Amino acid sequence: MQVPVDLGLQAKPKGPDTLIDVRDMRIYYATTAGEAKVVDGVDLRIYRDEIFGVAGESGCGKSTFVEGLLRLIKLPGYIKSGTAQFFPKNVEGKEPDEPIDLLKISQQDMRKLRWKHIAYVPQGAMNALNPVMRIDDQIVDAIHAHVNMSRKDAIELMLKQLNMVGLPPYVANQYPHELSGGMKQRVTIASSISLSPDVLMADEPTTALDVNIQRIILQELKEIRERLGLTIVYVSHDMAVHAELADRMGIMYAGSVVEVGTTIDIFKRPLHPYTQGLIKSIPKIGGPRERLVGIPGLAPSPLAWPSGCKFHPRCSKAMDICRQVAPRLGVVEEGRQVACHLYETQPKVESENSERTLSEIKLHV
Amino acid sequence: MTWLRNCWNTSLRFRMGVILLIAFIVLAAIGPLIYGPLLRGEQFDINPAAPGNFKRWQTFSATHPLGTDGDGRDLLGAYLLGMATSLRIGLLSGFVATLIGTMVGFAAGYFGGPTDTGLTMLANILLIIPAYPILVVLVLYTPRITPEMMALILAAFSWPFAARTIRAQVLGLKERPYVDLARISGVSSLGIIVTELVPNLLPYLLVSLAFSTLGAMAAEVGLALIGLGPSNGISLGLLIFFSRGVFSLGRYDVLLIPPLILIAIFTAITLINLGMEEYLNPRLQNVTGR
Amino acid sequence: MQKYKRFLFYVLRKVATYLFTIWAAFTITFFLFRSLPGDPVSAWAGALQQRYAVNMAGGSEMVEAYRKQFGLDKSISEQYFSWMYNAIVHQKLGPSFVNFPRPVEELLAERIPWTVGLLSVSILLAWVIGLLLGALAGWLRNSWISSLLTNYAVVISQVPPYLVAVMLVLWLGYSWRILPTQGAWDAQYTKGFNLPFILSVLKHAILPSVSIILVSVAGWILSTRSLIVNILGEDYLIYAEAKGLPTSQLLLRYGLRNALLPQTTGLALSLGFIMSGQLLIETLFLYPGLGELLARAIGAFDFNTIMGCVMLSIVTVMTASLIIDLLLPLIDPRVRAVVS
């Protein structure tokens, strides 16, 4: 795609064809200091063929949320409650529109869904490849775990995927340490979608890479989506990345989702005070020098979330009710959800941040 | 010292090991207070472990709660004294070995270059010399050997292990920014070592100490099993040595108690080591503290 | 080409270190022994005198004659060089005391098969069992199986094998009398390649090898467990799991395989330390191996034999680690990258 600035943002979220419907998902960690409620009631709907960005400060539970959908949570962490209905295309032994509850199915069934229907690129994708195995062996074994295919065909398929992200065929014969960070990243992403999964979950795949490579990889992800029609759930703390990539976004704070909307809406008119803070803390290029405003206070600990609205101790607009009653995520307008007491009575408040234009934000991506 | 408290809090194994080891040390230290009053009524109230002081093969009685052995030792007293000697040899040797090892490891890791090459080479050479035959010959040739001398001889062969660990840690720590910061702000080498490096190395020093102590205690038993022990003394190894040939007499307690005490002490130290490892490497913890 | 040059340089450096270390270790040992008061023959004569109250008044000429035969009348540096010369050029280690006048190299050659047979099989078996159990303990690290294995390993791992041997001898050998506790075969069979003899050898090997296995397994369990637990936290394992690989593949190809490299190094090193570690086991079971020979040699102040055993031990340890150093770049792609 030629000009990055407006891509994705202008693409309207396609139809209400739900792919994953998460309700009240909770993932707790049993620690010596008590129960850490890392994911504490997430409600989210992800549509087919969209790029959905999950944003939030580190420690807000966004990675755990994705790991939970893949059932990769290890003890002492466990899934406390919730449902995550998944509507994949043609899964063997299943009716077309019959949902699968990702949080309830057996590990054995989950194993069959992984990579073939739900692909995952972990945080630190740089180290996702086994250092003592050749690239081809690591990809072919995954293909063989899901489809019956000769080794020759599997290699063929892998080479096609590598070619798609511009990697030469000889990469297949190499060991991970012989590749650069960006190359390893691309190998991971390209091979993850070799069986055309319904959804790719990418957890900050571009951290630890320099900005140029990040940019190229994001471009490649978008191209792949345009060509193959793939749903991508993209987790990142970096709002600029979301501005570039995502169709819709969910903002997470303290283990739950506080705001959902199209990326354009969220950047133009953030509703939740936390979202407003996030956007205000993005530095902008050009215009008068301005002091960057961060969000005051520290992120709370999952061992003891604040009462009521978990954001109230850091919120400049906190009211009495915020300290006592936790706001629920509710529809404010078409395609827009927010969990904040400010909007139950006056849902269409004008944001103070609206004068900031999108191009200002995007320039320094 | 916060890391010690953290270690204590994170690891059940560490707590168990420390409690067990302290119990043994206390028991060994107050030994005379336990067997002394019991034996005082007898004709000899001096050394319960000297052979021929009491009637042989007595069974359990108020004076001799664990009976006596074939050489007429009061067994309770002998076990307590033997424990004290073994622990003394082990801990002293462990301390000395860790001290030498730390200094060598520090010098090698901190100064690098030819110092490092030379010291590492020396440690490697000592590591491959089979220590046991040399220990035996040295002990054989040393007249009137005391537990302290044995400890020193044992330490002479075990310090390279400590040196190796410490060197690796120093090499890692040296790269940390705060060491550079200290260097830039004009703190001397020694100052940096004392203020910045030592506190970070303490857990590793403790691991080395535990390993050297274990090694020395095991080596003492190895020497004792061929009859070489501190002269005029008793140790757990010697008790095992003396108890051979009791097979047919049915006094299994005489055979089993000394090795079991040893195994219990070894277990305590291994537990401490494992606990430290769990603390230093959070992935080994069953339940994370944070 | 540059790549091969660097590898060649690496090999040369390793071989040079190998030779130097052997030489240095040997030299230190030689002078350490010789710096002790008295020389072996006089010490031996003294010990004889003390032990058996032999009247040595007329024996001083005999002692002199023996001193000459063992080359002890020469200066220490002359002795050093002639020992080195004979050992390296002629592979001759001099006459022994314990089996006078048989040469030491003959005694060693006679005993090597027993030690290698008993210990290498035990150590290998222990390694395989320990690796599998350790992997299990790491994989199921929150289960009762894991805590059982770990706790067993904690209690046993640091216990010297001879203590276990003493207890085994006690229970199985003496109380139940089901297994032989001494020697390597029953005297009534002729030594050679026949079934009764081989069975007898195997039967005699059970107790010593079980005592070695019980203890060394524990060490391998602990180290493999912590390796596997570390690997389980690695990104590549999480990704492998996200690929939907079956559990068996995950454990074997990604878990155990990555733990195998360090553990193979450890195995080679422990094979090298065969002699020093298990000396007491052989003594306890009167097993006709190197350890038992060394124990007798020490008891008799048999300098040549002690030096021979020590030398052999040093060379095995160093050779084992040299082989690892040379093989590692071939096995582990990461090491290869550093080397070439």
Q: What is the pLDDT along chain A (365 residues), one digit of tens a residue?
A: 333 333 333 333 334 578 888 888 999 888 777 788 888 888 888 888 888 999 888 888 888 899 899 888 887 788 888 888 888 877 776 666 678 888 888 888 888 888 888 988 887 767 888 888 888 888 888 888 888 888 888 888 888 888 888 888 888 888 888 888 888 888 888 888 888 888 889 888 777 677 777 788 888 888 888 887 788 899 988 888 888 888 899 999 888 888 898 888 888 888 888 888 888 877 766 666 666 666 777 778 888 888 888 888 888 887 888 888 888 888 887 778 888 888 764 433 333 333 334 444 444 33
pLDDT, residue B289, reads 32
Is the CB of residue C286 less than 8 Å away from at least one CB of chain B? Answer: no
Query: Hey, what amino acid is at C97?
Result: F
pLDDT, residue B20, reads 93
CA distance A175 to chain C (A): 7
Element (H, E) at A263: helix A263-268
Calpha distance B249→B81 (Å, rounded): 24
Q: Choose, out of C35, C159, C279, the residue to mutate when testing the contact with B (most B CBs < 10 Å).
A: C159
Considering only CB atoms, which chain A residues are within 8 Å of C253? Answer: 133, 141
Are residues B259 and C33, on separate chains, in Cβ contact within 8 Å? no
Is the CB of residue A307 less than 8 Å away from at least one CB of chain B? Answer: no
pLDDT, residue B18, reads 92
Task: Record the tokens describing residue C326, joined without a space.
Answer: 């040379």
Are residues B287 and A33, on separate chains, in Cβ contact within 8 Å? no
**Chain C (115-134) residues lying within 8 Å, Cβ to Cβ, of chain B:** none
pLDDT, residue A208, reads 67
A–C CB contacts, 8 A cutoff, strictly below: 82
pLDDT, residue A6, reads 36
Considering only CB atoms, which chain A residues are within 8 Å of C247? Answer: 111
pLDDT at C119 over 90: no
| DSSP code per residue over B88-105 | HHHHHHHHHHHHHHHHHH
Is the CB of residue B218 less than 8 Å away from at least one CB of chain C? Answer: yes
Calpha distance A139→B241 (Å, rounded): 60
Are residues B274 and C154, on separate chains, in Cβ contact within 8 Å? yes
Are residues B289 and A33, on separate chains, in Cβ contact within 8 Å? yes
pLDDT, residue A345, reads 44
Domains and their CATH numbers in chain A: 18-117+197-361 (3.40.50.300)
Contact A102, A67 (CB under 8 A): no
The stretches of chain C forming alpha helices (DSSP H) are 2-34, 40-52, 60-69, 76-89, 104-115, 121-139, 144-157, 161-168, 195-232, 235-242, 247-249, 257-272, 274-277, 279-284, 290-299, 303-331, 333-339
Q: What is the CATH number of the domain that holds C206?
A: 1.10.3720
Calpha distance C180→C205 (Å, rounded): 9
State which residue of chain C sits closest to A68, comparing Cα positions.
C242
Is the CB of residue A304 less than 8 Å away from at least one CB of chain B? Answer: no
Q: Choose, out of B127, B129, B246, B249, the residue to mutate when testing the contact with C (most C CBs < 10 Å).
A: B129
Are residues B286 and A33, on separate chains, in Cβ contact within 8 Å? no
State which residue of chain B sits closest to A302, comparing Cα positions.
B290
Q: Quote the DSSP letter at residue A287.
A: S
Calpha distance A219→A222 (Å, rounded): 5
The interface pTM score, or ipTM, of the predicted complex is: 0.78
Calpha distance B94→A290 (Å, rounded): 62
Is the CB of residue C18 less than 8 Å away from at least one CB of chain B? Answer: no
What chains are in contact with B, requiring at least 3 Cβ pairs below 8 Å?
A, C
Are residues A76 and B288, on separate chains, in Cβ contact within 8 Å? yes
* pLDDT tens, residue by residue, B64-109: 777 777 777 788 888 888 899 899 999 999 999 999 998 998 888 8
Are residues C317 and B128, on separate chains, in Cβ contact within 8 Å? yes
Contact B55, B72 (CB under 8 A): yes
3-state secondary structure of A234: strand
The residue that leads in pLDDT, B124 or C279, is B124
Q: Is residue C43 situated within a structural domain?
A: no
Q: What is the residue whose two structure tokens read 């490579």?
A: A213
Calpha distance B21→B269 (Å, rounded): 7
Are residues C243 and A130, on separate chains, in Cβ contact within 8 Å? no
pLDDT, residue A365, reads 35
- Residue C38 — very low, low, confident or very high, per pLDDT cuts 50/70/90? low
Are residues A120 and C239, on separate chains, in Cβ contact within 8 Å? yes
Considering only CB atoms, which chain C residues are within 8 Å of B277? Answer: 226
Are residues A32 and B9, on separate chains, in Cβ contact within 8 Å? yes
Are residues A146 and C244, on separate chains, in Cβ contact within 8 Å? yes
Is the CB of residue A112 less than 8 Å away from at least one CB of chain C? Answer: yes
pLDDT, residue A224, reads 81
State which residue of chain C sits closest to A178, comparing Cα positions.
C337
What chains are in contact with C, requiring at least 3 Cβ pairs below 8 Å?
A, B
pTM of the shown model: 0.78
Considering only CB atoms, which chain A residues are within 8 Å of C334? Answer: 131-132, 175, 177
Q: Identify which of B45-54, B146-155, C37-46 has the greatest average pLDDT.
A: B146-155
Are residues C337 and A178, on separate chains, in Cβ contact within 8 Å? yes
| Overall domain count for chain C | 1
pLDDT, residue B21, reads 93
Contact A114, C243 (CB under 8 A): yes
Are residues C253 and A133, on separate chains, in Cβ contact within 8 Å? yes
Are residues A29 and B288, on separate chains, in Cβ contact within 8 Å? yes
Considering only CB atoms, which chain C residues are within 8 Å of A174? Answer: none
Calpha distance B94→C198 (Å, rounded): 45
Q: Which domain holds residue C133?
A: 112-295
Sequence-distant (6+) residues with CB within 8 A of B167 are B104, B105, B106, B108, B109, B116, B119, B120
Is the CB of residue A51 less than 8 Å away from at least one CB of chain C? Answer: no
CA distance A239 to chain B (A): 28
Are residues B247 and C313, on separate chains, in Cβ contact within 8 Å? no
Considering only CB atoms, which chain C residues are within 8 Å of B247? Answer: 170, 174
Are residues B9 and A29, on separate chains, in Cβ contact within 8 Å? no
* pLDDT tens, residue by residue, C217-274: 999 998 999 888 888 888 888 888 888 888 888 888 888 888 888 888 888 778 766 6
The residue that leads in pLDDT, B128 or B178, is B128
Contact C231, C244 (CB under 8 A): no
Angle of helix B252-280 relative to helix B236-243, nearest 10 degrees, comes to 140
Calpha distance C100→C302 (Å, rounded): 10
B128 alpha-carbon distance from chain centroid: 22
Average pLDDT of span B135-143: 77
Q: What is the residue whose two structure tokens read 């506080």?
A: A258
CA distance B159 to chain C (A): 16
**Chain C (188-227) residues lying within 8 Å, Cβ to Cβ, of chain B:** 222, 226
B–C CB contacts, 8 A cutoff, strictly below: 108
Considering only CB atoms, which chain C residues are within 8 Å of A145? Answer: 243-246, 249
Are residues B121 and C280, on separate chains, in Cβ contact within 8 Å? no
3-state secondary structure of A86: strand
Sequence-distant (6+) residues with CB within 8 A of A156 are none
Task: Record the tokens describing residue B185, joined without a space.
Answer: 């702000």
CA distance A130 to chain C (A): 5
pLDDT, residue A178, reads 85
- Residue B51 — very low, low, confident or very high, per pLDDT cuts 50/70/90? confident
| DSSP code per residue over C131-162 | HHHHHHHHHTTTSHHHHHHHHHHHHHHTS-HH
Are residues A120 and C242, on separate chains, in Cβ contact within 8 Å? yes
Are residues B221 and C160, on separate chains, in Cβ contact within 8 Å? yes
pLDDT, residue A305, reads 85
Q: For C243, which of A114, A126, A133 is closest by C-beta distance? A: A114
Q: Is residue C28 situated within a structural domain?
A: no
Q: For A122, which of C238, C333, C334 is closest by C-beta distance? A: C238
Are residues B137 and C306, on separate chains, in Cβ contact within 8 Å? yes
